[in-house]
Structure 1
Amino acid sequence: MLNSAQEAVGEKFVLESMRHARDRTWDVVERVASKIQPGMLESEAVVECKRVLQDMEMERIWHPILIRFGENTLRTFKQPSEGDPRLKNDDIFFVDLGVVWQGHEGDSGATFVVGADAEMRACAQAAKTVFDEVEHHWRTTGAGGKALYDYAAERAHALGWKLNLDIKGHRVSDFPHAIYKAGKLGDFQPHPDAGLWILEIQIAHPTRPFGAFYEDLLV
């Protein structure tokens, strides 16, 4: 019964609409990332993101726009950015968006690099690699949510990065998912159903002050 309550959905829930929301949100992430250039302030990137969302006629955002530059890539969702940094010529940033389309919640995030810093590029790629490996583990093993994050920590460590286990994924559905009180994916013992959970991966460089983030719908 607990599992059923944690994976409850509304009467309007349609899996295909979750896929649509996911795809549209990824479109915004990519468009916004392409507009972020060295010299831009973090706050200016947020303003640009709002313009893109308006142009794409989104229904609403369901969580605040999160764009982090440089050292702020180490901060979690609930931690405010430190200051308003300007993107450097060699720098790293991520975009994290939660947007409602067709009454369903999209939630996508990825890390991007400007310039030629090899370790920053490796960090951004590693976040995506760990996500892909954990997503494959979910798809092929029947592992529960907690086991997925145990596996994510193992894979991040094996690749030379630190996984932030304060970031453990969460529910999505037809808006608003928050009424279902599902908790975090990393604390969810059963195997998570498709189309209901966001897998979040946030890693940090072992010695330098930056990290990377990647999230997507398990579908």
Structure 2
Amino acid sequence: MSNTTQQAVGGQFVLESMHYARDKTWEVVEQVAARIQPGMLESEAVSECKRVLQELEMERIWHPILIRFGENTLRTFKQRSEEDPRLKEDDIFFVDLGVVWKGHEGDAGATFVVGADAEMKACAEAAKTVFDEVEHHWRTTGSGGKALYDYAAERASALGWRLNLDIKGHRVSDFPHAIFKAGNLGNFEPHPEAGLWILEIQLAHPTRPFGSFYEDLLA
């Protein structure tokens, strides 16, 4: 597949609308995270997320709502959660949303911590740190997608975490991006264009059963 095909867009694509979709999706992520409290079931958090999406008048979701508590933060997008855990007083969770606004695909995800577990807080912060470092590398070096994930693995290891390389980012566009069959960002050799790719970072604690997640648009 050619670079041109892998970075193709639909006839309605507008970069500013991609930014709008990103910002609106982040608004939902933050509102949902603020409503998630210890004692809540993972399934209850998903229901709360649906209410927020309705309140903000989203057009549609383009990938299933993904909210993971505790040990489920180690699971990838395609893996189902183990049972329906209840959020503990000291716990970690992430929110991952793909939502269409103005005909464009927003995709955002971040990790949050309740309570005082220092290693959970460090893990959540590390996902954002690695994301920021890789995003800066993308912006300043002209690196391709594969090189970006090689760099991400190096940075995660240097900070004491394991990068899940089964999660390698993906395309977005005016809805639906899937018609372009672009594959994963981590397998894409050329330099990714702005506004078309989601950089995903999923980390695992080296010894304890939890991880963290952060994703955003390379804008």
> What is the CA–CA distance in structure 1 between the aligned matches of 2:68 and 2:115, rounded to whole Å?
16
Q: Is 1:212 aligned to residue 209 of structure 2?
A: no
The corresponding residue for 1:180 is 180
Amino acid at match of 1:201: I
> What is the CA–CA distance in structure 2 between the aligned matches of 1:168 and 1:55, rounded to whole Å?
32
Listed one character per residue, the Cα deviations across residues 55-83 of structure 1 (whole Å, up to 9, x for unaligned) are 00000000000000000000000000000
Once the two structures are TM-superposed, the CA of residue 112 in structure 1 deviates from its matched residue by 0.0
The corresponding residue for 1:46 is 46
Once the two structures are TM-superposed, the CA of residue 194 in structure 1 deviates from its matched residue by 0.1
> What is the CA–CA distance in structure 1 between the aligned matches of 2:6 and 2:132, rounded to whole Å?
24
The corresponding residue for 2:60 is 60
> What is the CA–CA distance in structure 1 between the aligned matches of 2:191 and 2:169, rounded to whole Å?
14
Q: Is 1:121 aligned to residue 121 of structure 2?
A: yes
Listed one character per residue, the Cα deviations across residues 164-186 of structure 1 (whole Å, up to 9, x for unaligned) are 00000000000000000000000
Q: Secondary structure at the match of 2:124?
A: helix
Q: Secondary structure at the match of 1:192?
A: coil
The corresponding residue for 1:23 is 23
Once the two structures are TM-superposed, the CA of residue 150 in structure 1 deviates from its matched residue by 0.0
> What is the CA–CA distance in structure 2 between the aligned matches of 1:137 and 1:8, rounded to whole Å?
23
Give structure 1 regions of 4+ aligned residues with deviation exceeding 6 angstroms: none
Q: Secondary structure at the match of 1:199?
A: strand
TM, length-normalised to structure 1: 1.00
Cα RMSD (Å) of the superposition?
0.5
State percent identity of aligned pairs: 84
TM, length-normalised to structure 2: 1.00
The corresponding residue for 2:7 is 7
Once the two structures are TM-superposed, the CA of residue 160 in structure 1 deviates from its matched residue by 0.0
Once the two structures are TM-superposed, the CA of residue 207 in structure 1 deviates from its matched residue by 0.0
* Match runs of 1:60-209 below 5 Å: 60-209=60-209
> What is the CA–CA distance in structure 1 between the aligned matches of 2:172 and 2:88, rounded to whole Å?
34
Q: Secondary structure at the match of 2:98?
A: strand
Once the two structures are TM-superposed, the CA of residue 147 in structure 1 deviates from its matched residue by 0.0
Once the two structures are TM-superposed, the CA of residue 109 in structure 1 deviates from its matched residue by 0.0
Amino acid at match of 2:61: I
> What is the CA–CA distance in structure 2 between the aligned matches of 1:8 and 1:153, rounded to whole Å?
28
Listed one character per residue, the Cα deviations across residues 30-69 of structure 1 (whole Å, up to 9, x for unaligned) are 0000000000000000000000000000000000000000
Q: Secondary structure at the match of 1:19?
A: helix
Amino acid at match of 1:217: L
Once the two structures are TM-superposed, the CA of residue 120 in structure 1 deviates from its matched residue by 0.0
Q: Which runs of 5+ in 1 are unaligned?
A: none
Once the two structures are TM-superposed, the CA of residue 96 in structure 1 deviates from its matched residue by 0.0
